[in-house]
């Protein structure tokens, strides 16, 4: 059964999925606008929409499962992401006051 005025629209189940808060979209968009380093992860089962869509902001955003997040924090991927982000933060700190 369709409840929209779009005759070709199809629906999908939204059971066991989560939506983001508008704040997680706004804060990242503001940081992106000012050229600040962005570090964002998407929790498993959170819908990849807006800034959480893969590749939308031009950076890699891993998905993690909170039930075994400790394991993820011990991976090479985590170490590489944090090292890259730390480099971005240091770069911004060195250029503080210069326009993007």
Cα–Cα distance for residue pair 64/66, rounded to 1 Å? 6
pLDDT on residue 24: 81
Model pTM score: 0.65
Percent of the chain with pLDDT over 90: 7
Cα–Cα distance for residue pair 73/87, rounded to 1 Å? 18
pLDDT per residue as tens digits for the range 61-90: 788 888 887 888 899 988 998 999 899 889
Q: Do 2 and 11 meet the contact criterion of CB atoms below 8 Å apart? A: yes
Mean pLDDT of all residues in 9-15: 77
């Amino acid at each position: 059964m369709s409840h929209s005025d779009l005759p070709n629209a199809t629906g999908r189940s939204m059971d066991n999925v989560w939506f983001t808060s508008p704040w997680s979209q706004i804060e990242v968009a503001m940081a992106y606008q000012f050229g600040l380093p962005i570090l964002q992860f998407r929790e498993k089962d959170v819908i990849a929409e807006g800034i959480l869509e893969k590749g939308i902001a031009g950076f890699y955003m891993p998905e993690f499962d909170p039930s075994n997040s400790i394991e993820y924090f011990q991976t090479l991927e985590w170490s590489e992401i944090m090292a890259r982000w730390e480099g971005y933060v240091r770069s911004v700190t060195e250029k503080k006051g210069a326009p993007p």
